[in-house]
Each structure stands twice: as structure tokens, then as C-alpha cells.
């Protein structure tokens, strides 16, 4: 049974219902438990994965052994690489962080489907462009405005992906600790501790029972020179 666009985020809003049903027709479903990986950095990029349920994070390991979290994927996201090179390899690892149900798509099947249906191919190109822009903005966050700017941008992205209006603030439903945040912006845990402490003193944010609450979104936007990107781009 197909999913309607308003049931999911990720690639689904980019696709028409007919296009999504075509894409769904070439998937086979698979349950993957937390702690397992859909693929590892260096594996052959011959499959893509659509998330029906659960969460997946993609990470990149540096030469020094440091792991950087690139994305937090959830229901509706499509994960994998669609390169023009036949023997390409995954440049990151996809780890399941919450038990997931995924649709596995063989790259060869997808290529045939895109060749057969020009409307799906056009919509798929729009999704690829969206993902490219998302990557560009994340690199901008990391390089342009220092660690504080990157942290403020991370908090804004968390609010767009997991935020809910509550008691005059934005309650972030996803539990996340300082070490995980450090891995998302390439900083040390100690520096993230210090920056978060400063934001709490300014009453910009609060932290309660493992959840962040944003009280002053405008402050965060000013620090990271927010460009008011659409939420499809300003996300985790």
C-alpha cells in the first residue's frame, strides 16, 4: 500500500503518488534492528534504502579515527548514493539507531525504472538537487561561522526536524546528548558543554529530562547568519 505525501517527509513530498508507487514496486521490505548497519563506508553502492519506520544516522570516519555524524534520517528518507559510475562505493556508514523497517532498492532496478518513466526521473532529479543543497548548507555551517555558529545551526535544524511548540518554547522531542552534538559539528564534547552553558545563561535554551527547549530562536538565527532556508533543506 502506497504512502501519501503528507504522511512522510524526505523524498515523498517531492514525488507524486503515482511516482512513489512505482518506486515502491521495486522495493523489498526488510526489518533491521537497532545497532546494525545498512551499509558500511567502502561497501559497493549497489542499493538504496527507503525508511518506512525507525531512524538511521549516516557517519563519516576521518583518518584519525574521529566519527562525524552527517545526517539523522527518519521515516520517509531515502538513503544511498546514485552515482554515474557503475562501481562506486559508499562514502559513509548508515547505522540504525532505532529499530527500522526499510525498503531495499537495487540500483539496477532503479536505473531501469528511471529510464522507463521520465516523470519519475525528473522528480528524482529534484530530490537529488535538494539533497545536494542540504549537504552544501551543512558544510557552510561547519566552515563559515565557527563552532558556535555550527552549534546554533544544529539547534535550529533539530527544531525543524523534531521541534514542537510547547509552553512558549520549541520542545525538541529527540533525546540527544552533548557528545552526539559534538560529533555533528566536529567539535569536542568539552567545547559543546561550554557553548551550551553560555546559551543557557542567556536564556536562549533550556535542557530538561534529556530534551532541549529553545526559548529564543531569533538569537540562534542571528549567530549562524540564518538564510531562512526552507525546512526541507534546514533539517537533520
How do residues 136-180 score in pLDDT, each as one tens digit?
A: 998 888 888 899 999 999 999 999 999 999 888 999 999 999 999
Residue 129 CA to its chain's centroid (Å): 15
Q: How far apart are CA 130 and CA 125, in angstroms?
A: 9
The whole-chain average pLDDT of the chain stands at: 90
Contact 45, 83 (CB under 8 A): yes
77, 16, 70: which is closest to 48 by C-alpha? Answer: 77
Confidence band of 5 (pLDDT split at 50, 70, 90): very low
pLDDT for residue 118 is more than 80:
yes
Taking the model in full, what pTM does it have? Answer: 0.87
Determine which helix (DSSP H) or strand (DSSP E) holds 117, and give its type and residue range. Answer: none
At 213 the three-state DSSP class reads strand
Q: Which residue ranges make up each domain of the chain?
A: 12-116, 146-224
Considering the domain delimited by 146-224, tell me its CATH architecture: Orthogonal Bundle (1.10)
The single-letter DSSP state of residue 13 is G
Please compute the mean of the pLDDT values over residues 57-83 and round it to a whole number: 89
Contact 95, 37 (CB under 8 A): yes
Q: How far apart are CA 104 and CA 51, in angstroms?
A: 9
**Domain 12-116 homologous superfamily, CATH:** Jelly Rolls (2.60.120.10)
Confidence band of 2 (pLDDT split at 50, 70, 90): very low
pLDDT for the residue 3: 42
Amino acid at each position: 500500500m502506497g504512502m501519501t505525501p503528507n504522511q512522510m517527509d524526505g523524498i515523498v513530498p517531492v514525488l507524486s503518488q503515482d511516482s512513489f508507487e512505482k518506486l515502491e514496486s521495486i522495493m523489498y521490505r526488510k526489518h533491521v534492528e537497532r545497532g546494525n548497519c545498512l551499509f558500511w563506508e567502502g561497501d559497493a553502492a549497489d542499493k538504496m534504502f527507503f525508511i518506512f519506520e525507525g531512524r538511521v544516522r549516516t557517519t563519516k570516519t576521518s583518518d584519525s579515527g574521529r566519527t562525524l555524524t552527517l545526517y539523522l534520517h527518519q521515516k520517509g528518507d531515502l538513503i544511498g548514493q546514485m552515482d554515474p559510475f557503475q562501481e562506486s562505493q559508499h562514502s559513509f556508514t548508515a547505522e540504525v539507531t532505532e529499530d527500522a523497517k526499510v525498503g531495499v532498492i537495487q540500483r539496477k532496478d532503479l536505473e531501469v525504472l528511471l529510464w522507463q518513466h521520465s516523470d519519475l526521473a525528473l522528480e528524482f532529479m529534484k530530490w537529488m538537487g535538494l539533497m545536494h543543497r542540504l549537504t552544501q548548507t551543512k558544510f557552510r555551517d561547519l566552515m563559515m561561522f565557527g563552532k558556535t555558529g555550527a552549534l546554533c545551526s544544529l539547534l535550529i535544524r533539530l527544531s525543524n526536524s523534531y521541534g514542537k511548540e510547547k509552553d512558549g518554547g520549541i520542545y525538541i522531542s529527540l533525546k540527544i546528548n552533548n557528545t552526539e552534538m559534538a560529533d555533528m559539528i566536529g567539535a569536542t564534547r568539552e567545547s559543546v558543554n561550554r557553548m551550551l552553558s553560555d546559551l543557557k545563561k542567556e536564556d536562549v535554551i533550556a535542557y530538561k529530562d534529556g530534551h532541549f527547549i529553545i526559548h529564543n530562536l531569533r538569537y540562534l538565527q542571528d549567530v549562524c547568519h540564518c538564510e531562512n532556508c526552507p525546512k526541507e533543506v534546514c533539517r537533520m
